[in-house]
Amino acid sequence: QKEVEQDPGPLSVPEGAIVSLNCTYSNSAFQYFMWYRQYSRKGPELLMYTYSSGNKEDGRFTAQVDKSSKYISLFIRDSQPSDSATYLCARSGAGSYQLTFGKGTKLSVIP
């Protein structure tokens, strides 16, 4: 079982929709969780970073961690065409700093 599982999509939504992106992980020793956004042919850009369970909000983005069910989510409100990208979830911890990534979900927001 891969340590971080992520539905690769693709996911296509109309502009203004609420987007829900999800990942599951298998090792409960993981402590830190991140969401990165990667535009085509670019490096990943850090969106959200969280340590504990619960919600963290930043503008239109909300990251949610449920450690009891080993589930992490990213919600995008009022989605825009500029949000069209691949979204990568990642975790670190368990005694190491390198990140383990999900395979990414490709999102298209249609005007």
Q: Which residues bind other proteins (CB under 8 A)?
A: 31-32, 34, 36, 41-46, 49, 88, 90, 92-93, 96-104
Q: Which of 14, 10, 32 is nearest to 101 (CA)?
A: 32
What are the phi and psi torsion angles at 83 (to 5°)? -80, -5
Cβ distance to other proteins smaller for residue 43 or 111: 43
Contact 33, 89 (CB under 8 A): yes
Cβ distance to other proteins smaller for residue 79 or 90: 90
Cβ distance to other proteins smaller for residue 71 or 101: 101
